[in-house]
Structure formats: structure tokens, C-alpha cells
Amino acid sequence: MLLPKVKGKPMTLNQSALKPQVVSGSSMGLWLLHKCLSLAKQFAQEYNSYKSQSPRNMNALRENSFEHFFNIEASTETLFWNESTWETNHSVVTEFVLIGLSNSRGLQIFLFAFFFVFYAGIVFGNLLIVVTVTNDSHLHSPMYFLLANLSFIDLCVSSVTAPKTIADFFYKQKVISVKGCFTQIFLLHFFGGSEMVTLVAMAFDRYVAICKPLSYTIIMHGNICVAIVATAWGIGFLHSVSQLAFAVNLPFCGPNKVDSFYCDLPREIKLACADTYRLDIMVIANSGVLSVCSFVLLIISYGIILITIQRRPSDRSSKALSTLTAHITVVLLFFGPCIFIYAWPFPIKSLDKFLAVFYSVVTPLLNPIIYTLRNTEMKTAMRRLRQWNLNFCVKS
């Protein structure tokens, strides 16, 4: 039975919920009297709220009069009351509204240009590294194999958020479906977890190359490199699934505004209509601890490598130091925002947004720049690739 709207929301009487249950004589009479008084009080409140409203609403109220509440078949021996009978219908959230970075039209134009230029640079720079490493036989070594994998992951991480963010600048209201939001969260943590493991693998590769050079070809052979990359992707998948396993069934009944330009788990669980304390702890234990532990492990590894370089000076020390500087810079750029977003106990919204921009479009662009400008072999290989393309064009 549909009752008139109260403050824009329809009231419902779930008659199917009035299912029989055996109760005895005197107790049933007292129970029925109590329910009648409750309904009468509720009806009086509805009537008073509608007295000042339009005649159309009053007609609707009369059609749903008091005696209509009891248009139910019930015997003196059976009656059951479902407590959800008189509750207000709650709307279920089907999409989230992304607040974005700014409401200023002028600033949005600047941000559109910023994201577009940076994303174009990400696509070009990271694809250039992947193509160069793949086509140049001089770069078929474990370090460059891992570098190509890192560049591909950087491209994927940025592609999860940047294209939609660029498109959203054309819309006044930036929306994303609940399924699309959780898909974005899954992919973001999948590629992010894979990148963490890849960076640890690259540190291990440099440790073996510098600290145990005679055993390098034995330890870092082709099958080991493939296994490391497969492990990185597998850990990224498990990390992402473990994040969403407890969050995907959360109830969302409003509000539905996300104070960011993309979906991420710490922001989404705050909108759930449920107690999410345990889930908050799980996010910190999963993403936060993983980020902090990986970062500490990397810093210790690179510290050992730097000490080894100082103790064993040689002609190749300057080259190794240059490579290490690039690696450490990338580690700091990647793990800094991750630790602050997922492990810092006192988040600051404005800083969170800045770090989210840095993580999604700045770091994936800086990685190829750092590895190409500071790496002589990469620059030489790119010149060979350009010359090969020029020769191919001339011949064709």
C-alpha cells in the first residue's frame, strides 16, 4: 500500500510482511491494542503534517484512511508484525559524484591542459621505453627487462584514472557508477601492488649486480626474471582482491559525494551505511603496512649497495652510482604519496588531492624521464631506434 509522500519520500506499508505466527488469546489482545495505538499515533502525525498542504495531498491522505490500514485478513489465533512495516524507503546509491579538484572554470581549463599534456607524455615516454627495450638487443638484460615492465605498469596506473579525469572536465557533474568505481579501485591497487614488487625486484637486481657481480648471470637468468615479473603481477592481484573482498558488499544509501577526482578505497568506505572501523584497520594493515615495509626494505637495500660502492671504487662506480640515483629517486616519488595516503593517521584533504595528482600523472611521467636522461645506454639505444626508423622510411 502506497502512502502520500513525506518530504519527498514515499511511505510504504509492507502487507506481505504481515505473515501469520501463532500467539495466544490474552497476550494477543494486549499486543493488538498496543499496535493499534501506535498506528493511530502515526496516522495523527501524518494527518497534522498534511493539513497545511494542498487539497490534492489531502485527497491522497483520505484514500489511505485509518481503516485502510486494517484491510488485512487475520484470525484471532494468528497474527505477526514485521517491524519493517512502517520504515521509510531508503534510496540505494547506484552512482558516486566526484567532486573533482576545483569548481573554478578557469582553473578547470588549466587542469585539463595539465592532465592532457602529462598523460600524453606518459603514454609516449613509457611506450618508447617498452619499444626500445624490446627491439634493441643491447638492452636484453635483467635490469632493462624489469625497467620495461615498470614502464608498462606506470602506463596502466595512469590510464586507470587520467582519461576519465580529462573527460570529466567537460561535465558539470562528474559521476561514476558503483561498479565502475570499484573497478577503478581494483585496477589501481592491482597495478600499484605490482609496481611495489617490481621496484623491490629492481633493487635486488642492482644488489646482485654490484655486490655479487661474478654470480650475476647465474642468479638473474631469464627464467628468474620471468618468475619475478609473474610474482609481481600475482602479488598485485592478491593485494587488490584482499582490499575489495570486504568492501564490495558494503551498503551505500547516501551521501554519494567523493571528495576526489577518482575512486579509492579510503574515501569510499567513509560513505558506507555501516560500521567500517574494522575495514579501515584492514586498509591500513594491507596497503599502509605493505607500502611502509617495502619502502624500508628498499632503503636498506640501496644503503647496502651505496656502502659497497664506496668500499670498492672502480671505473664502473660512477655509472653504478648514476643508476642507483635514478632508482632511489623513483622509489621516493612512488612511495612518498602511497605512505601518506594509506598509512598516515591524520589525513589532510587538500594534501591528499595534491598527492593523488602526483601519484596518478606526475610520477608515471617522471619515471621515463629519469631513466632516459640519466642512462647513457638508453639514450644510445633510442638514437639507434630513431636511425633505424629513418632508414626504414627512406627505403619504403
Q: What's the pLDDT tens digit per position in 203-217?
A: 899 889 888 888 898
Whose CA is closest to 113, among 173, 175, 165? 165
pLDDT band at 42 (very low <50, low <70, confident <90, very high): low
DSSP helix/strand/coil, 11: strand
Q: What angle do CA 242, 244, 249 make, to 5 degrees?
A: 130
Most confident range (mean pLDDT) of 39-43, 160-164, 291-295, 307-311 is 160-164
C-alpha distances out from residue 272 to 84, 93, 96, 145, 353, Å: 21, 10, 12, 42, 21
| Residue range 142-154, pLDDT digits in tens | 999 999 999 999 9
| Residue range 62-111, pLDDT digits in tens | 444 444 433 433 333 333 333 333 333 345 888 899 988 888 888 889 99
The predicted pLDDT at position 118 comes to 94
d(CA 30, CA 26): 6
Residue 134: CB partners within 8 Å, gap ≥ 6? 148
Whose CA is closest to 108, among 34, 46, 165? 165
C-alpha distances out from residue 315 to 203, 309, 319, 320, Å: 21, 11, 8, 10
Strand partners, 22: 78
Own/partner pairs, 44-48, CB within 8 angstroms, 24+ separation:
46/3, 46/4, 46/6, 46/11
Per-residue cell: 385: 631506434
d(CA 321, CA 324): 5
d(CA 162, CA 154): 12
Phi-psi region of 8 (alpha: psi -120 to 50; beta: other; left: phi over 0): left
| Residue range 316-359, pLDDT digits in tens | 667 777 777 877 888 888 888 888 877 776 667 667 788 888 88
Query: Are 322 and 373 a contacting pair, CB within 8 Å?
Result: no
Q: Which helix (H) or strand (E) holds 377?
A: helix 376-395
d(CA 46, CA 7): 11
pLDDT band at 159 (very low <50, low <70, confident <90, very high): very high
Omega of the bond leading into 255 within 30 degrees of 0 (cis): yes
The predicted pLDDT at position 315 comes to 60
